[in-house]
A and B are shown apart, each in its own frame.
Chain A
Amino acid sequence: MFYLPMKFVISVQASPQSPASRRALKFAQAVLSEGHEILRIFLYQDGVCNATSIPVLPQDELDLGVAWAEFIQQHQLDAVVCVAAALRRGILNTAEAQRYGRKASVLSDSWELSGLGQLHEAIQQADRLVSFGGS
Chain B
Amino acid sequence: MAKSLLVISRQAPWSGLGAREALDLVLAGGAFDLPISLLFLDDGVFQLLPEQKPEALQQKDVTANLAALPLFGVEQLYAARTDLVQRGLGESQLALESVRILEDGALADLINRHDQVMTF
A interface, CB within 8 angstroms of B: 11, 13, 44-45, 84-85, 88, 115-117, 119-121, 123-124, 126, 129, 131, 133
CB neighbours (8 Å) of A123 from chain B are 3, 5, 116
Assess the A116–B28 pair: CB atoms within 8 A. Answer: yes
Residues of chain B lying within 8 A (CB to CB) of residue A45: 17-18, 21, 120
Distance between A38 CB and nearest chain B CB, rounded to angstroms: 16
Measured in the bound complex, the distance between the Cα atoms of B32 and A88 in whole Å is: 24
9 shortest interchain CB distances as A-B pairs: A116-B28, A129-B116, A120-B29, A45-B21, A124-B3, A123-B116, A120-B32, A131-B118, A116-B25
- B interface size (C-beta, 8 A): 18
Q: What is the minimal beta-carbon distance from B35 to any residue of chain A, in angstroms?
A: 10
Total of A-B residue pairs, C-beta within 8 Å: 41
Pairs A–B under 8 Å by Cβ, sample size 16: A44-B21, A45-B17, A45-B21, A84-B24, A116-B24, A117-B28, A117-B31, A119-B25, A120-B5, A120-B32, A123-B5, A123-B116, A129-B116, A129-B118, A131-B118, A131-B119
Chain B contact surface mostly: mixed
Complexed CA–CA distance, A124 and B24 (Å): 18
A17 to chain B minimum Cβ distance, whole angstroms, is 16
Asked whether any CB of chain A lies closer than 8 Å to the CB of B34, the reply is yes
